[in-house]
Chain A
Amino acid sequence: MTETILAVDRVTKRFPGVIANDAVTVDIRRGEIHCVLGENGAGKTTLADVLYGVYRPDEGTVTLNGEPLELQTPGDAIAAGIGMVHQHFELVPPMSVVENVVIGTSASQWLDLSEVRGRLNEFFRNYDVEIDPDAEVGRLSVGEQQWVEIFKTLYFGVEVLILDEPTAVLTPQGVQELFRILRRMRDEGLTIILITHKLKEVMELSDRVTVLRLGKVVGTVNTADVQMRDLAQMMVGREVLFQFDKERSDPGEPVLEVDGIHLPSVTGRGSLKGLSLTVRAGEVVGLAGVSGNGQNALFDALVGVEKPSSGGIRIGGVDTAELSANRIAQLGVASVPADRIAQGLLMDFKVKENLVLGRHRSNPFSRGGLLNRGAIDGFANKSIEGFDIRTPSASQSTRTLSGGNLQKVIMARELSGEPKLLVAHQPTRGLDISASEYVRRRLLEERDRGAAVLLMSEDLDEIFQLSDRIAVIYDGRIVSKTTPEQADLESLGLSMAGADTVEAGSA
C-alpha cells in the first residue's frame, strides 16, 4: 500500500488574475482512497482537471507509475489509465446506457452493442447495481446516472479514478451506496481520488487526505490520525465555530402572519393544506422538513408569485392577497430562493446588474426611465466590499462566480433595503464552510437588527444553530412546533417523517 502510483510534483496552474494551483505536490498511492479536501475555490477541481488533461500545468510535472505524464487532452489521460467523473455529468441524455459507454472506446466501427451490454451487465451484477443497459440515460435518476458515469470510466480499464464532488447530487442513502461500492473497488485494487469539501465524507471514506487552501497544499495526513476539527482548521485556515454564540432574541410585533392558507399543486412545486405560521420582528423561525412537503409552495405564496386559494397572508399588517410580487417586495420582504441560479440570478448579466435587480426601477438606480449607471456602480462596489464578494470587477459576468459568491450577491441585494421580513430557503445548500458561516452570521445580524426571519432548511444543524423557534412542515401543514432548547433530533426527525398525527395549532 505504500507504492506511489501518481506523483504530482510542484504543479502550478495560473488563470488570468488567479493562481489556481501553486506548486502543488501530492503523492497518490496505489489502491488507496485519497481525498482532496478544500473549500470552493481552493483549486481542487483545477488539480483534477490537470490530472485529467483538461488543463496543462504551467509548471511542474505529473508522473504515473514512474513515467512522466504529458497530457494534451482527456483522451490521453484515459489512454494512460486515468478516468474522471465530473461534478456535472458528461452524458448524452437522449442515448442509452450502452451507447453512452461505447462513445470514445476502441470498439469496432460496426456497432456491436451486445458485447458492451454483456460486459456492463457483468459490472452491474458484480456491484449489485440495477440498471437497464438499454434505458435512455436522460430518464435515469441522478444516482443511476452517476453509476453510468463511473462504469463508463471503468470500462476504459483505468487504474486511477477521480471523482469530483460525487455526493453533491445524492441522497444520504445514495451516498452510502456509493461509498460501499467505492470501498469495494479500492479493495479490488483501484486507486480513487475523491474531491470534496465535506468533512464527514472524508472522515468516513478516505485512507489519506490532502488539504488545499487558496491553491496551496496545507498538508497530507492519514485520516485515522486526525479529527474532523483538525481538518476543518486546515481547510479554513482558522478555528471553525461549529456553534454560534447568539444572544437571546427579543421578539416584537408579528411581522408575518400566515392564516390557514391552501395552495393547490399546479406548478409541481408542492401544495399547502391549511398552513398557519407567525414570525415576529427580531426572531428567527426555523422551518424544518424533508424537501417536497410544501416549502417551495410556501416560498412562492410568501413572495407573491402564487396566490393561495384560501386563507390569508398578512405582512406588517397588510393583506397581500391582491398585491403583486413587486408590491409585496416593496412592503419590505426580501427573499433568498432555494435555486439561486434559476430563481435568484440572471447568470449572463453582470454582477452589478444582479445586485440591483428588482430595485432597478426605482430611485436612485433609475431616473426618468433611464438607468443611472453612476448610482448602480457605486452601490455595486459598496456591496462587493461589504459582502466580500470575490469578483474581479462589478462588470464581471455573474456566471463566472463560485456558488458562495453567487449567494453573497443575492444576500447583498436582498438585505440592502433593510427588509422587515426575510424569507431564506436553503440559504447555505451547496456552500462551503466559510461561505455557510458567513451567510448564517448575516441572517442572525438581520434578526438582531429587528427583521423577522423565516429560515427554511433541510439542514437540521443549521435549524438548531440559528432558530429561536422551530416549526416542522409536513404535507403542506405545520405539524409541530418547538424551540431549539426543548427539541431533540429524534423527535424532530419523527415529526418531519409525518409521525405526528395531531395537527398543531397556529404558531
Chain B
Amino acid sequence: MEEFFTSAVIVGIFWATLRIATPLLLAALGELVCESSGILNLSLEGTMTMGAFAGFYVANETGSTVAGLVAAGLGGAFLSLIMALMTVTAKVNQVVAGLALNILGLGLAFFWYRSIYEAEGSIDIPTVETMAAPWEFFPIPWLTILALVMVPVVWVFLYRTKYGLELRSVGHNPEACDMRGVGIISRQYVAVVFGGVMAGLAGSFLSLGSTGLFFPDIISGRGWIALAIVIFGNWRATWVLVGSLLFGFLEATQLALQASDVDLPYQLLLALPFVLTIVALVFNRSRSNVPLSLTIPYHRGER
C-alpha cells in the first residue's frame, strides 16, 4: 500500500484526472447550457463521436490541429442543429430525437471512417502534433485550459447576463417568456448548438488530444457519463466542475490501482461515480435545480 502513495503515482493520478475530466467537463458544460433552456440532448455520445471523427479527419488531411478543432466544433454543431430542428422547431419528443441522433452520430462517424480509411481497427495521426501544452514545466493541454475557463464563463453567462437569465427562464416556463415577448426558439437554438459545439470539442480531445488516434467506439460511454454529471452537479456550473474532476479522479485512481499490486477491487471505484450520482439525486431532490420544463415542448396558446 505504501508503495502506492509515491510521488510518481500521485503526480500520475493528477494528470490522469485532468486528462479524463477534460472531455467530461466540456461536454457536461455544454449540456448544462442546453438543458437550462429546457432541451434534453441525449445524443452526447453520438455528438462526441462526430466531433472526434471530424477533428481527426480534418487534422489528418490539413496537418493542422487548429483546423481539426474547428472541424470538431462544426461536426458537433451540425448534429445538434438537427437536434434543435427536431425538438425546437418540429417539437418532436426530446428523448426519442436524442436517442435517434445518438445512433445517427455513431453510425455516420463509423461509416465515414470505414469508407475513408478502409480500416477496421484504430489508426494514428502520423502527420499532426497532438495538442501540445503551452508550457513545458506544466504540461496542461490547451483544451483542458479551455474546459476550466469555460466553467466561470458558463456561470457568468447563465447567472450574470440577461440573455442567460432569459435562457434559464425559457427552461423553467417558456409560456411566461413568450408572454413577455422573449424569443424562445432563438434561445433554445443557441443553447442546443452551444452544447453541440462543446460536445464536438470534447470528442476531439479524445482523438486529437489524449490519444492521437481514432476508433469507432472512442467515446465509449463518456457521453452518458457527462449527462450523469449534469444531474450530479444539480444543473450548476461549479458542481459540474466538481463532478467532472471527481469522475476523473476515481477513474484515474482506478487505473493506477490496476497497474499496482494493491489488493483493492478497482470495480468498486468504477462503480462509485454512479452510486454518487444516485446519492446526489436523492439529496438534491428537495432543492433540485432541474429546469421545470425540461423535455416539455412549448406550443403557444395551449393551456
Q: A-facing mask of B167-185, CB < 8 A → 1, else 0? A: 0110011011111111000
Q: Which residues of B contact A110 (CB under 8 A)?
A: 160-162
B300 beta carbon closer than 8 Å to chain A: yes
Residues A75 and B182 in contact, CB atoms below 8 Å apart: yes
B299 beta carbon closer than 8 Å to chain A: no
Residues B181 and A104 in contact, CB atoms below 8 Å apart: yes
Q: Which residues of A contact B292 (CB under 8 A)?
A: 93-94
Tell me the residues in window 126-181 of chain B with beta carbons closer than 8 Å to chain A beta carbons: 160-163, 165-166, 168-169, 172-173, 175-181
Q: Say which residue of B162, B168, B179, B289 sits within 8 Å of A90 (CB atoms).
A: B179
Residues A104 and B165 in contact, CB atoms below 8 Å apart: no
- A74-B162 in contact given A93-B172, A93-B292 (Cβ < 8 Å): no
Give, as a whole number of angstroms, the nearest-CB distance from A284 to chain B. 35
Q: Which residues of A contact B300 (CB under 8 A)?
A: 54
Residues B172 and A109 in contact, CB atoms below 8 Å apart: no
Q: List 8 A-B contacts (CB under 8 A).
A: A52-B179, A75-B180, A92-B168, A92-B169, A93-B173, A94-B289, A94-B292, A103-B165
Residues A76 and B160 in contact, CB atoms below 8 Å apart: no
Closest to B287 in A: A94
Q: Which residues of A contact B166 (CB under 8 A)?
A: 103-104
Q: Which residues of B contact A49 (CB under 8 A)?
A: 301
Give, as a whole number of angstroms, the nearest-CB distance from A54 to chain B. 6
Residues B181 and A79 in contact, CB atoms below 8 Å apart: yes
| Chain A binding surface SS class | loop
Residues B161 and A92 in contact, CB atoms below 8 Å apart: no
Q: Which residues of B contact A108 (CB under 8 A)?
A: 162
The CA-CA distance from A99 to B178 in the complex, in Å, is 16
The CA-CA distance from A94 to B290 in the complex, in Å, is 10
- A102-B162 in contact given A92-B173, A93-B172 (Cβ < 8 Å): yes
Closest to A89 in B: B176
Residues B303 and A103 in contact, CB atoms below 8 Å apart: no
Closest 9 CB pairs of A and B: A75-B181, A104-B180, A90-B176, A90-B179, A104-B182, A92-B172, A92-B169, A74-B179, A92-B173
Q: Which residues of A contact B161 (CB under 8 A)?
A: 109-111
Residues A74 and B173 in contact, CB atoms below 8 Å apart: no
Residues A103 and B301 in contact, CB atoms below 8 Å apart: no
The CA-CA distance from A126 to B301 in the complex, in Å, is 34
Give, as a whole number of angstroms, the nearest-CB distance from A219 to chain B. 29
Interface size class of A (residues with CB under 8 A): 20 to 34
Q: Which residues of B contact A102 (CB under 8 A)?
A: 162, 165
Give, as a whole number of angstroms, the nearest-CB distance from B167 to chain A. 10
Closest to A73 in B: B181
A151 beta carbon closer than 8 Å to chain B: no
A182 beta carbon closer than 8 Å to chain B: no
- A74-B181 in contact given A54-B301, A109-B162, A109-B163 (Cβ < 8 Å): yes
The CA-CA distance from A93 to B172 in the complex, in Å, is 8
Give, as a whole number of angstroms, the nearest-CB distance from B276 to chain A. 24
A84 beta carbon closer than 8 Å to chain B: yes
A88 beta carbon closer than 8 Å to chain B: yes
Q: Say which residue of B172, B177, B301 sits within 8 Å of A104 (CB atoms).
A: B177
Give, as a whole number of angstroms, the nearest-CB distance from A168 to chain B. 14
Residues B165 and A99 in contact, CB atoms below 8 Å apart: yes
Tell me the residues in window 285-303 of chain B with beta carbons closer than 8 Å to chain A beta carbons: 289, 292, 300-301, 303
Q: Which residues of A contact B179 (CB under 8 A)?
A: 52, 54, 74, 84, 86, 90
Q: Say which residue of B160, B163, B165, B303 sits within 8 Å of A88 (CB atoms).
A: B303
Give, as a whole number of angstroms, the nearest-CB distance from B274 to chain A. 27
Closest to B160 in A: A111
Q: B-facing mask of A199-242, CB < 8 A → 1, else 0? A: 00000000000000000000000000000000000000000000
Q: Which residues of A contact B169 (CB under 8 A)?
A: 92, 95, 99, 103
Q: Which residues of B contact A93 (CB under 8 A)?
A: 172-173, 292
The CA-CA distance from A78 to B169 in the complex, in Å, is 18
The CA-CA distance from A85 to B168 in the complex, in Å, is 21
Closest to A79 in B: B181
Q: Say which residue of B162, B172, B180 sits within 8 Å of A78 (CB atoms).
A: B180
Q: B-facing mask of A28-70, CB < 8 A → 1, else 0? A: 0000000000000000000001001011000000000000000
Q: Which residues of B contact A84 (CB under 8 A)?
A: 179
The CA-CA distance from A103 to B172 in the complex, in Å, is 12
The CA-CA distance from A79 to B180 in the complex, in Å, is 10
A107 beta carbon closer than 8 Å to chain B: yes
Closest to A153 in B: B180
Give, as a whole number of angstroms, the nearest-CB distance from A5 to chain B. 21
Residues A90 and B173 in contact, CB atoms below 8 Å apart: yes
The CA-CA distance from A105 to B161 in the complex, in Å, is 13
The CA-CA distance from A441 to B119 in the complex, in Å, is 81
A91 beta carbon closer than 8 Å to chain B: yes
Q: Name 16 extra pairs, CB < 8 A, besides A55-B301, A84-B179, A94-B289.
A: A54-B300, A73-B178, A74-B181, A78-B180, A86-B179, A93-B173, A95-B168, A99-B169, A102-B165, A103-B165, A103-B176, A103-B177, A104-B166, A109-B162, A110-B160, A152-B180
Q: Which of B160, B163, B179 gathers the greatest number of chain A CB atoms within 10 Å?
A: B179
Q: Which residues of B contact A89 (CB under 8 A)?
A: 176
The CA-CA distance from A104 to B168 in the complex, in Å, is 12
The CA-CA distance from A49 to B289 in the complex, in Å, is 32
The CA-CA distance from A52 to B163 in the complex, in Å, is 24
Closest to A52 in B: B179
Q: Which residues of A contact B182 (CB under 8 A)?
A: 75, 103-104
The CA-CA distance from A460 to B303 in the complex, in Å, is 31
Tell me the residues in window 261-303 of chain B with beta carbons closer than 8 Å to chain A beta carbons: 289, 292, 300-301, 303
